[in-house]
Structure 1
Amino acid sequence: MLRSIFTFAGLLALSAAVPISQGPIVSSSSLLKVVRAPMKLPRSPLVLDTRETCTITSGCQGSAEEVTGDTDDGSTWGLQITNSGDEAATYFLYQNSCDCMPYKYITIQASSTSFVALSTGFQGRIVRGTTEMNLDGNSHRLGTWVEVNIGSDGTAWGNISLIKGCDGAATIAALDSTGVSTGFDDWLLDGAPDDAYEAKDNGVKVIKQTEALDDANDIIYASRDYLAGKLGYTKAYIDDHHGDPVICSSNNRLAITFYKGRT
């Protein structure tokens, strides 16, 4: 998610209230201003009740495609998704601005990897979930987002975002010769302040979002400060105002690992 544009006075005020990012920035901001524009996840003025019925908009699917794993020949564009947990888990791919229904979903056994082929132009997120919740036609945005962009020029971009909450750890790595990666494998779901938690729509308690759904400047400090204190700002997006933890892969292939979480 791109940083919002602030006035100089606004930046001074924000700096007094927000901890300063520690550690190096992963990518140059001048480059990201150009290439990350498509990864911006448009915010709609939604209320916090994520059970509110969605309206399927133009360009979004009315039903999700279940996949069992595509053949990986080493050059096909897409994602290698690994379930590093100790039980089978289901992962859902959502296109940007299509929160009512996933684009695809796949169930992966514990300690196993599956490949999901993606076409040029896919921009969206991969999240943990359940078929009972994520296929009910409603918006369920609370949790860890692995954001990806399959570029028309053959370059894929990816990052981990905790702005919409954290339901477990994840990493993302390039499958080109660089081998760059970002993300974290820390268990963060225990030990947070009480007001840093929120229940998913199925009742599972996770770390809540760090910003109000309709206002990036409305920081939820309990969750934001807890996550920033554990991870800093170089491993994942904690809010829209710190760091650029984005990687790219020159062959449009990315490896994603989900660690044990709460779905």
Structure 2
Amino acid sequence: MIVEQPGTSPAHLFEAAQLPTKSVIVYSDRAEVKRLVIVDLPKGNQEIVIQNVSAVIERQSVRVDGRGVLIQEVQYQEISMDMTHETDKIVDIERQKVEVENERFAIQDECCSIRKRIDVLDGVAAQISSGPSAMAMSMPFSSPQSSSNSGSQPQLLSRRHTVTGQEPNPLALNTPALSNGFFFNHESLDNLAKFLKYYGDAVRDMKTELRKRQRDSEQLAEKIDQLDRQLDQLRCLAEYDSIKR
């Protein structure tokens, strides 16, 4: 804190890292860095403060030159900082990081659930697209004659072979024939169309939601990285450098 004395002007504050570099001379064991301080000073005594100077500076090496001014005094000061505020900030950022991580974990669980639901529907669609021969393993079939005798409407009818090995004439049947020898009635075709529509709408909606949740997860990952960088800076400051120069 700069205390303004009666009859003096407030100090002109500069950050060392933000000052433009005029020249750098590198020696075998050190380097000389010159920075420029450009400021309009009114007439009278003025104080210029350059804060957050490098931690590896040699305190006796500080030199100041000026044009159009008379330099009365140059001081180098090191002030121990109270790290209580930084410690509280570390605890607060760690709490924020845990909350963001939990939110990201929940989104990842949602994405996993959506992928499994898509896989289930894809599996059903693949089984249907592979043809009735694959569905025959899990669905009962009956011949057109036996189904008509029982009075029930067949869903899928299997290919019937005669003793001579010849296939029946599809034109003799009332149900539409497929090229693979299986026959669908109107109800089964209607159910197939309903499933295909449901499959298309459901998978489209789930993939849209999946992409949205993945973008949310990426944004949270970026936020976690930012919090990690803040924690690294604060911990480094609290552990290795608690001096203000």
TM-score (norm 1): 0.20
Higher helix share: 2
TM-score (norm 2): 0.21
Q: Which has the larger radius of gyration?
A: 2
